[in-house]
Amino acid sequence: MSLRRVFLLGAVAVISVAALVAIVTVLNGHFGETEGKIFATLATTFAAGSAVIAGLALLGRGDSRPLGFAGISLASVGFVLWSAQIWAGFDSKTYWQALGILTAWSLALLVVTTNRLMLSSPSLLRSLYPATAGVAAGAALTVSVMILRDQGDGWQLFAVLLILALVGEALAPVLERFQAADERPSERLLGVVAGAEVLAVRARNARSVQIGGSSAALAEGEGVVVRERS
């Protein structure tokens, strides 16, 4: 079983456990400290698992391997530190600062990795992807400086960068759909049979076959088989 499948099954298990805990809490009519810690741990697991899955997907595709490893590493460390804080409750300013900075960069990496996974168009990989990655990193850097200085003076810059990062994330699947269609070649050679080229072409009617100068429509569920006459 692949690691990606394991994490996907783990995400399903986390959601199921969260639903079960919620149902038990509602039936008991009591929401105490332990239930709160359980929900917080489940939320941490879900967030870290999402980042890990995105990193594994990048590694599986062979794209931006350093980015994939960085996302997995930060998510794993963040999960350990947040879980320890939830259950142990450390009262340390330095610990909270480390958690805040780690969380900011983990979320920024999650935006960058998911943005990369949604894009395959060369033009978007040269424009939208680096722009989104840049503003996401800028937002994380701004938060890190604010945390270290213990000041909130840069919140407006952070808000602007965060909005731009979310816009880039939202535009990625939409622009990818239209841009990929425009960049797809008008015809593609599938093979040669008895000296005749078999081509896949872009057409308004996707369920049709053109043979010479005539066009034949295909019924739903039908395909095309080309074989050499014996």
Per-chain mean pLDDT for the chain: 80
Same structural domain, 133 and 161: yes
> Are residues 59 and 81 located together in one domain of the fold?
yes
160 by Cβ neighbours in 10 Å (0-12 / 13-18 / 19+) ranks as middle
Q: Do residues 136 and 111 touch, judged by C-beta distance below 8 A?
A: yes
Confidence bin at 143 (pLDDT 50/70/90): very high
Q: 228 in a domain, yes or no?
A: no
Between 150 and 140, the higher pLDDT residue: 140
Domains held by the chain: number: 2
pLDDT at site 153: 85
Q: Look at residue 225 and tell me if it is in a domain.
A: no
Look at residue 88 and tell me if it is in a domain: yes
Q: pLDDT tens across 31-84, in order?
A: 778 778 888 888 888 888 888 888 888 888 777 888 989 989 999 999 999 999
By residue range, what is the domain housing residue 19? 3-183
- Within this chain, do residues 177 and 208 fall inside the same structural domain, yes or no? no
Buried b / exposed e across 8-32, counting CB within 10 Å, b at 16+?
eeebeebeeebeeeeeebeeeeeee
Does residue 117 share a domain with residue 30?
yes
Does some domain include residue 223? Answer: no
Other CB atoms within 10 A of residue 184 CB: 11
Same domain, residue pair 108 and 27: yes
Identify whether 40 is part of a domain. Answer: yes
Q: What is the mean pLDDT of residues 97-125?
A: 91
Same domain? 23 vs 56: yes
Q: How far is CA 127 from the centre of its chain?
A: 18
Partner residues linked to 217 by β-bridges? 208
Is there a single domain that holds both residue 116 and residue 26?
yes
Verify that 91 and 203 share a domain, yes or no: no
User: Is 122 found in the same domain as 83?
Assistant: yes
CB atoms inside a 10 Å sphere around CB 75: 24
**Is 221 part of any domain?**
no
Statement to judge: residues 56 and 112 lie in one domain: yes
pTM of model > 0.75: no
Amino acid 1: pLDDT = 46
Residue 81 falls within a domain, yes or no? yes
Question: What is the spatial distance between Cα 23 and Cα 7, in angstroms, rounded to a whole number?
Answer: 24
Encoded tokens for 216: 């034949």
Whether 199 and 176 share a structural domain: no
pLDDT tens digits for range 156-173: 999 999 999 999 999 998
Say if residue 83 is in the same domain as residue 156: yes
Does the residue 154 lie in any domain? Answer: yes
